[in-house]
Amino acid sequence: GGGIVVVGVETSCDDTGVGVLRVRQRSCRAAKKTGVGIEAEVLANVVSSQFEIHREYGGIVPRLAARAHEANLPLVVEQALEQAKLSWKEVDAIAVTTGPGLSPCLWAGIRAAEDYAAQHAVPVVAVNHLEGHALIPRLFEDSPAAFPFLTLIASGGHTLLVHVNGVRDYTLVAQSLDDAIGECFDKVARVMGCDGSVSGHPGKEVERLAAQGNPEAIPFRVPLTRSHNVRSCDFSFSGLKSAVRRYVGQRNAEPLSAAEMADVAAGFQHAALTHLENSTRRALVFSGCRMEPAHLEKVDVSMRRKYNKDVARMPDEPLSARPPRSLVVSGGVASNAALRQRLERLANCFGIPLHVPPPRLCTDNGVMIAWAGAELVAAGPGRTLADLRSHADTL
Ligand code: KG4
Ligand code: ZN
């Protein structure tokens, strides 16, 4: 009992996600200590994947996806409430993703949320999908991420670095100039003939293969390392994707052996992750993070050289007024263990912690939308969480 019950609905892409949270205001002392004003208990997190529906098309078909959301939503909502052991009577608000995403899919979620809201007389809070990814690291009781932090959002749809200074106070530091990292993992998986049917995620299969290969056997070029590129923190993955496609295509006459396949995966993953790490390091430096001199002596030569170059290229104004207090990585690709290891080491060098939300909250889900909705309301001018009960507008 107690607190505010928020249901989050996420349908921006191909997953139907419904999460249920019980949200409470933290005590003054706890809020000060953690830097986060509210806390929440995850009562349910149900995600229904449409993976099987779209697999044969090799991509997501928006109209099919929207229809599947419409069919799934009532079941997923019912299942989530059952998991939470709650009825609609106990629900105080609905948060729903209103963008960015595939519009027919978004509308399926918005219409459903509005129907439920009307039926049960609860308010609807509009949430930006990326805000969900950006704020979810603040949910964790043991180590919630206090503002400001730098977050790398690495998913099938986005590759972004966002400086999160506060609720509704974000600076977009970098984005992909072409494909998203997860999309690139998926395409590479396809080229190599793994479709994700083993694990449910093609990217995960590339990671599994890569762990068995030699990352130096096929040296794919790390993207955007030419000198005129290194003032920006942006990403690009289409060149790397094409390079892998070319390499595998050239060998079409004689199919790759399992060992060669593993080397392709390892070489690709090495280049892709080095690129992510380069941009993240630069973004930390450009937003004012520094390595302690004593620490700098201990890091390996290549990291030290790259760090020193970034410091030399620092823009006149830092990207943010306050340097980040932690680094966060989220999105589907954050479940890649090799990426986490690299970022852990990187954050360590700067003397800040790395936060990685658990995988089930990193991939698209309704919990992050419920949480972001609660944060938006809690941070609103003169609003407390209790206002969720009476506030009936889209925020
Ligand atoms: O956040 P997410 O579930 O969905 C959206 O992008 O909307 O991210 C899914 C992406 C897919 O491209 C998937 O292949 C990738 O995350 N992914 C991975 C791994 N697990 C999932 N990529 C690399 N390594 C992994 N272990
Ligand atoms: Zn997402």
- Give the closest residue to 20 by CA, choosing from 390, 385, 373, 355: 373
Judgement on whether residues 239 and 123 belong to the same structural domain of the protein: no
**What's the rounded mean pLDDT across residues 384-395?**
50
Note the pTM of the prediction, 2 decimals: 0.89
| pLDDT tens-digit map of 328-346 | 998 889 989 999 999 999 9
Judgement on whether residues 178 and 250 belong to the same structural domain of the protein: yes
Looking at residue 332, what is its pLDDT?
86
- 294 located within any domain: yes
Judgement on whether residues 105 and 193 belong to the same structural domain of the protein: no
pLDDT band at 326 (very low <50, low <70, confident <90, very high): very high
Quote the ligand 1 centre to 81 CA distance (angstroms). Answer: 27
> What residues sit around ligand 2, an ion, with C-beta below 5 angstroms?
155, 364
Judgement on whether residues 322 and 381 belong to the same structural domain of the protein: no
Looking at residue 394, what is its pLDDT?
36
Residue 391 pLDDT exceeds 60: no
- 15 located within any domain: yes
Judgement on whether residues 297 and 378 belong to the same structural domain of the protein: no
Judgement on whether residues 85 and 158 belong to the same structural domain of the protein: no
Residues with CB under 6 A from ligand 1: 13, 155-157, 182-183, 185-186, 201-204, 207, 331-333, 335-336, 363-364
Residue 86 pLDDT exceeds 50: yes
On whether the CB atoms of residues 315 and 361 are closer than 8 A, the answer is no
- 49 located within any domain: yes
Q: Number of folded domains in the chain? A: 2
Ligand nearest to the CA of 47: 1
| pLDDT tens-digit map of 338-375 | 999 999 999 999 999 999 988 888 789 999 999 999 99
- 295 located within any domain: yes
**What's the rounded mean pLDDT across residues 277-293?**
95
Task: Check if the interface score ipTM surpasses 0.90.
Answer: yes
The side-by-side arrangement of strands in the sheet containing 124-128 is 38-49, 15-25, 4-10, 93-99, 124-128
**135-147 burial by CB neighbour count: b if 16+ within 10 A, else e?**
bbbbbbeeebbeb
Quote the ligand 1 centre to 17 CA distance (angstroms). Answer: 15
| pLDDT tens-digit map of 33-73 | 888 999 999 999 999 987 666 666 667 788 888 999 999 99
**What's the rounded mean pLDDT across residues 110-125?**
94
Angle (CA) 9-11-16 rounded to 5° is: 80
What are the residues whose beta carbons fall under 8 Å from the beta carbon of 328, sequence distance 6 or more? 137, 145, 149, 150, 151, 152, 164, 354, 355, 356, 357
Judgement on whether residues 337 and 365 belong to the same structural domain of the protein: no
Looking at residue 392, what is its pLDDT?
39
Judgement on whether residues 51 and 189 belong to the same structural domain of the protein: no
> DSSP labels for 92-129?
-EEEEEEESS-HHHHHHHHHHHHHHHHHHT--EEEEEH
- Give the closest residue to 184 by CA, choosing from 136, 140, 237: 237
Pocket test of ligand 1: the residue of 204, 269, 361 to mutate, having most ligand atoms within 8 Å of its CB, is 204
Q: Which residues constitute the domain of residue 53?
A: 4-140+361-390
Judgement on whether residues 189 and 121 belong to the same structural domain of the protein: no
On whether the CB atoms of residues 366 and 7 are closer than 8 A, the answer is yes
Judgement on whether residues 346 and 368 belong to the same structural domain of the protein: no
pLDDT band at 246 (very low <50, low <70, confident <90, very high): very high
User: Can you give the CATH number for the domain in which 296 is found?
Assistant: 3.30.420.40
Residue 379 pLDDT exceeds 90: no
**What's the rounded mean pLDDT across residues 28-32?**
90
> DSSP labels for 294-354?
HHHHHS-HHHHHHHHHHHHT--SS-SSSS--SEEEEESGGGG-HHHHHHHHHHHHHTT--E
- 82 located within any domain: yes
Phi and psi for 23 in degrees, rounded to 5?
-110, 135
Of residues 161 and 227, more confidence is placed in 161
Judgement on whether residues 87 and 161 belong to the same structural domain of the protein: no
**Strand 124-128 relative to strand 354-355: parallel, antiparallel, unpaired?**
unpaired
Quote the ligand 1 centre to 86 CA distance (angstroms). Answer: 31
- 395 located within any domain: no
Residue 106 pLDDT exceeds 90: yes
Atom of ligand 1 nearest to the CA of 199: 20
Ligand nearest to the CA of 340: 1
- 311 located within any domain: yes
What are the residues whose beta carbons fall under 8 Å from the beta carbon of 245, sequence distance 6 or more? 187, 191
Judgement on whether residues 82 and 225 belong to the same structural domain of the protein: no
